[in-house]
Structure 1
């Protein structure tokens, strides 16, 4: 008899959660979403880089979030690797035309941009679908800007923008009742 066998399935559940991100609706049917499941050593590197980014940016909540990622059973990273613009000239990116936005020199901080707002919405929908699927599977999770920011800032993932979704299968949700930081 196996004791606590549910802890052995987290990687399979993570892959199912990423299916939800992959199949989420995309603007104009163009899929610029990239997904990643860091192994244990990559997850440890990510948490160290989150702490390093906390020092660089002066944002203490990155340390709290790094602890959450460290304590999580797994983490998935969902990102955007933009291939262009929607061609709608909607102005949501802050430029008059898609052509103007595409010709603008990209800035890289935590994330690289600007990008088409439709692409950013695609990322948000994909992350939301992943979080919803995790909930449906009874896997505790929390969307973390900080994990994605560190992954992009330190080139751990090949994405322009990313969000992290740490996953936990424990008796209590480790992402709830977290100490507040400023």
Structure 2
């Protein structure tokens, strides 16, 4: 008899969750999505970076420390990011610039994220993250989409992308992401 075997399958299911992100629709069919399964050794790098960011950013960012605790308590974590290869070429203005050329020539801002980028690339990222979270829910896996994990992935250099979100996954009797303080 194998007691509590559900945790043994979590990594395999995480790969299926990333599959949902990969196959999510993309604007103009251009796939600039980057996915990653965080290895155990990298969890502490991310959590420590989150705590360091909380200190650096100051008041209003204590949630980064809380999220670091959630990350450490999760069974597995996935990262989903976008590394924009350009713009959609629609001159839609959603990025804040009149033309795609203006946005592409603008000086990039490097903080937790790298921008500006084409708004449709951000939409692609949101659709991919939503597909991943939905697939996790389909598998009855507790999860939480976290800006903080993605920011730490970029700042620590673990994922080369412009914008990243992390989704810690947990299969315990009590959702570790529910009673967050």
> What TM-score range do you get, normalising by the shorter chain?
over 0.9
Q: Secondary structure at the match of 1:151?
A: helix
Q: Which residue of 2 aligns with 1:78?
A: 80
Q: What does the per-residue CA deviation read over 1:45-70, in whole Å, with 9 as the maximum and x for residues that have no partner?
A: 11111111111111100000000000
Among 147, 150, 155, the residue aligned to 1:148: 150
Corresponding position of 1:106: 108
- Which residue of the partner structure matches residue 138 of structure 1? 140
Aligned residue in 1 for 2:14: 14
Q: Which residue of 1 aligns with 2:94?
A: 92
Identify the residue that residue 37 of structure 2 maps to in structure 1: 37
Gaps of 5+ in 2: none
The residue aligned with 2:2 is: 2
Q: Does 1:51 align with 2:51?
A: yes
Partners of 1:60 and 1:118 lie apart in 2 by 31
> Where do 5+ consecutive residues of structure 1 fail to align?
none
What are the superposed Cα offsets for residues 119-155 of structure 1, whole Å, 9 maximum, x if unpaired? Answer: 0000000000000000000000000000001111222
Aligned length: 179
Q: Secondary structure at the match of 1:173?
A: coil
Q: Tell me the TM-score normalized by structure 2.
A: 0.97
Residue number in structure 2 paired with 1:125: 127
Q: Does the 8 Å contact 2:14/2:76 carry over to 1? A: yes
**Alpha-carbon separation, structure 1, partners of 2:32 and 2:159:** 14
Question: What TM-score do you get using the length of structure 1 for normalisation?
Answer: 0.97
RMSD: 0.6
2:154, 2:164 within 8 Å by CA — same for their partners in 1?
A: yes
